[in-house]
């Protein structure tokens, strides 16, 4: 009987030791888990480092994508294949005898203010500065001989440049021609018609791949001494009548 009592006592002691060990193990695991979580959520912990690494990778990918897109744009511009949608084309003639082009009204108003001028009374601005995006430009210039200079303030992408400067016999300078994107232009007829005071024209930035009509384009430009048409693509042009007449 004593042996039985001893065995039972030993068994209880073993269970007690096992239970204590289990409790200690659980406590240790909880401590380790707490340490791991603490390390993970700290400012320089594993989670933070992982997030920073992912963010850095995403920034790198975005930068490379942007650089690649810019490179493609550069190649398109270089080869003349880049096509952009037709933009707003605001045009205003000022009292300083200058025709100003812009894709927004704010830039034109800023030009007027900074150059101490006003809109010309020779033109009807009762309805505001016109947006010539889809209009026939030929009908807009009622007194082209009044204009002596043209300024492009920013990029404009017209659908037509027909008679844009037609009849401007006093026009002697065009500034910012690089801002004129002609990728969508199909009609350049009479564009510089009777610009008899112009002595030079650099149109090397022109994209003419979609142009079908260049008739009368430089007709009567009698003072032209220099004309750069090095970028001209006339593969789709069907009408060149009087293009260089009296030049």
Cα distances from 238 to residues 183, 214, 218, in angstroms, run 17, 8, 16
Confidence class of residue 244 from pLDDT cuts 50, 70 and 90? very high
Q: What is the pLDDT of residue 150?
A: 95
pLDDT tens sequence across 120-146: 887 778 778 888 775 555 445 555 678
Q: Please state, rounded to an integer, the average pLDDT across all residues of the chain.
A: 81
Q: What is the pLDDT of residue 132?
A: 77
Among candidate residues 149, 152, 153, 127, the one with its CA nearest the CA of residue 140 = 127
Across residues 102-110, what is the average pLDDT?
95
Location of structure tokens 């209009």: 135
Please check whether residue 181 is in contact with residue 156, taking contact to mean a CB–CB distance below 8 angstroms: yes
Please indicate whether residue 169 or residue 11 has the higher confidence score (pLDDT): 169
Q: What is the pLDDT of residue 29?
A: 76
pLDDT tens sequence across 82-98: 568 888 999 989 999 99
pLDDT tens sequence across 189-212: 999 999 999 999 999 999 999 999
Confidence class of residue 12 from pLDDT cuts 50, 70 and 90? low
Q: What is the pLDDT of residue 34?
A: 65
Q: Can you give the length of the chain in residues?
A: 247
Model's pTM, two decimal places? 0.66
Q: What is the dihedral of CA 195, 198, 204, 206, to 10 degrees?
A: -30
The burial class, CB within 10 Å (0-12 / 13-18 / 19+), for 195 is buried
């Amino acid at each position: 009987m004593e042996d039985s009592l001893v065995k039972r006592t030993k068994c209880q002691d073993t269970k007690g030791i096992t239970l204590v060990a289990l409790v200690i193990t659980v406590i240790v695991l909880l401590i380790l888990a707490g340490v791991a979580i603490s390390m993970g959520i700290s400012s320089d912990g594993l989670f933070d480092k992982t997030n920073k690494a992912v963010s850095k990778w995403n920034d790198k990918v975005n930068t490379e994508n942007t650089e690649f897109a810019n490179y493609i744009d550069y190649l398109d511009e270089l080869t003349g294949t880049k096509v952009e949608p037709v933009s707003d084309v605001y045009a205003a003639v000022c009292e300083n005898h200058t025709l100003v082009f812009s894709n927004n009204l704010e830039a034109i108003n800023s030009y007027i203010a900074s150059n101490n001028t006003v809109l010309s009374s020779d033109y009807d601005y009762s309805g505001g500065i016109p947006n010539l995006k889809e209009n026939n430009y030929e009908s807009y210039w009622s007194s082209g001989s009044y204009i002596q200079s043209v300024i492009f303030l920013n990029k404009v992408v017209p659908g037509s440049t027909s008679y844009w400067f037609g009849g401007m016999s006093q026009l002697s300078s065009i500034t910012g021609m690089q801002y004129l994107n002609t990728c969508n232009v199909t009609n350049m007829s009479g564009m510089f018609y009777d610009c008899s005071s112009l002595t030079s024209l650099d149109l090397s930035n022109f994209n003419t791949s979609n142009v079908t009509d260049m008739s009368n384009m430089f007709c009567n430009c009698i003072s032209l001494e220099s004309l750069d048409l090095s970028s001209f693509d006339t593969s789709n042009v069907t009408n060149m009548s009087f293009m260089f007449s009296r030049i």
